[in-house]
Amino acid sequence: MQRRTLIKTLAALAAAGATLATTLAHADDKVIKVGTMSGPDAQIWSVVTKVAAREGLTLKVIEFNDYVQPNAALDAGDLDANGFQHQPFLDSQIRQRGYHIVNVGLTYTSPMGFYSKKYKSLKDLPEGAKVGIQNDPSNGNRALLLLQKYGVIKLKPGAGANGVNATPLDVAENPKKIRLVELDAAQLPRALDDLDAASINTDYAVKAGLQPTKDAIGIEDLKGPYANLIAVREQDRNKPWVKKLVAAYESDDVRHFLDTQFKGSIVPAF
């Protein structure tokens, strides 16, 4: 009786071990849900999906139309990863909402620009011009720094530096008395008819039929601090699929797609 019991026990342990081994061997077989923005980001992730599939990693790309939902969905576990934001934006979201999300790899740099249907240069803005900027801290900061770069305004010393976002309250000099209108990033392209100029993130600009390097009346340097990234939950950062996901994005296929499809308005950051 004891011998039969021992044999059954050993058989059960062997079966359990085999099941565990199978589970580990196929740990990457799960579908990895990745959140991104519709438009250029989604186009790029379609290429990443094909590269990942060749390495045995199945991706499901879920598209969003605003910058708030992808991090909320990732933190809640509804997504496994997202790729749409730069580090300053992620940092501000973590400070505001307490997310446990980390950067695991860079994707591309997308210089933000100012656009206008009325003027050819930011220097042409008239007295009292209405200028739209993003109402989220990190992108609003970028817009203000860009206005300063082109000499439209001057910020207080240190504003917008060392991880501290500038706000319209930090404008120290405004010789043309421009009126800053803060709007949600997604609304800015639609508001161009009512504004003299507006800062627009590249993904929204492209969706609105604007080509940054051709149509912007003021644009960030191509190599700046705002490289986009892939984010995952802290608990997942060392999982095997994360390494495969990042490698798929940093592939030659994706680099070639960025270089040929976007012609300098979106450049690889890896």
pLDDT for the residue numbered 182:
98
- Determine how β-strand 32-37 pairs with β-strand 101-109: unpaired
Q: Is residue 215 included in any domain, yes or no?
A: yes
Q: Which residue has the tokens 């030659």?
A: 252
Are residues 124 and 210 both part of a single domain? Answer: yes
Last residue of a domain, one of 219, 234, 249: 219
Are residues 117 and 107 both part of a single domain? Answer: no
Q: How far apart are CA 71 and CA 31, in angstroms?
A: 19
The residues, any chain, with a CB within 8 Å of residue 260's CB and separated by 6 or more, are none
Q: Is residue 140 included in any domain, yes or no?
A: yes
Judge contact between 150 and 253, C-beta under 8 A. Answer: no
Are residues 157 and 201 both part of a single domain? Answer: yes
- State which residues form the domain around 73: 28-111+225-268
Are residues 204 and 122 both part of a single domain? Answer: yes
Work out how many domains the chain is built from and give that number.
2
Are residues 183 and 86 both part of a single domain? Answer: no
| The Cα angle at residue 178 between residues 153 and 200, in degrees rounded to 5 | 80
Are residues 231 and 182 both part of a single domain? Answer: no
pLDDT for the residue numbered 33:
98
* Ranges assigned E (strand) in the chain: 32-37, 59-64, 81-86, 101-109, 113-115, 130-134, 154-155, 171-173, 179-183, 197-200, 218-219, 227-233, 267-268
- State the Rg of the chain over Cα: 23
Q: How far apart are CA 33 and CA 62, in angstroms?
A: 7
Judge contact between 130 and 118, C-beta under 8 A. Answer: no
Q: How far apart are CA 229 and CA 101, in angstroms?
A: 12
The residues, any chain, with a CB within 8 Å of residue 26's CB and separated by 6 or more, are none
pTM of the model: 0.76
Q: Is residue 2 included in any domain, yes or no?
A: no
Are residues 119 and 96 both part of a single domain? Answer: no
Q: Is residue 67 included in any domain, yes or no?
A: yes
Q: Which helix (H) or strand (E) holds 144?
A: helix 137-149
Judge contact between 115 and 197, C-beta under 8 A. Answer: yes
pLDDT for the residue numbered 48:
98
pLDDT for the residue numbered 166:
96
Are residues 46 and 75 both part of a single domain? Answer: yes
Are residues 193 and 259 both part of a single domain? Answer: no
Q: Is residue 50 included in any domain, yes or no?
A: yes
Last residue of a domain, one of 199, 219, 239: 219
Give the full edge-to-edge strand order of the sheet including 113-115: 179-183, 130-134, 197-200, 113-115, 218-219
Q: What is the pLDDT along the chain (270 residues), one digit of tens a residue?
A: 555 554 554 445 444 444 444 344 444 579 999 999 999 999 999 999 999 999 999 999 999 999 999 999 999 999 999 999 999 999 999 999 999 999 999 999 989 999 999 999 999 999 999 999 999 999 999 999 999 999 999 999 999 887 789 999 999 999 999 999 999 999 999 999 999 999 999 989 989 999 898 999 999 987 778 899 999 999 999 999 999 999 999 999 999 999 999 877 899 999
Are residues 177 and 264 both part of a single domain? Answer: no
Are residues 50 and 101 both part of a single domain? Answer: yes
> Which tokens sit at 103?
């950067």
Are residues 198 and 235 both part of a single domain? Answer: no
Q: Is residue 243 included in any domain, yes or no?
A: yes
Q: Is residue 58 included in any domain, yes or no?
A: yes
Q: Is residue 10 included in any domain, yes or no?
A: no
pLDDT for the residue numbered 164:
82
CATH number at residue 71: 3.40.190.10
pLDDT for the residue numbered 269:
94
Judge contact between 107 and 228, C-beta under 8 A. Answer: yes
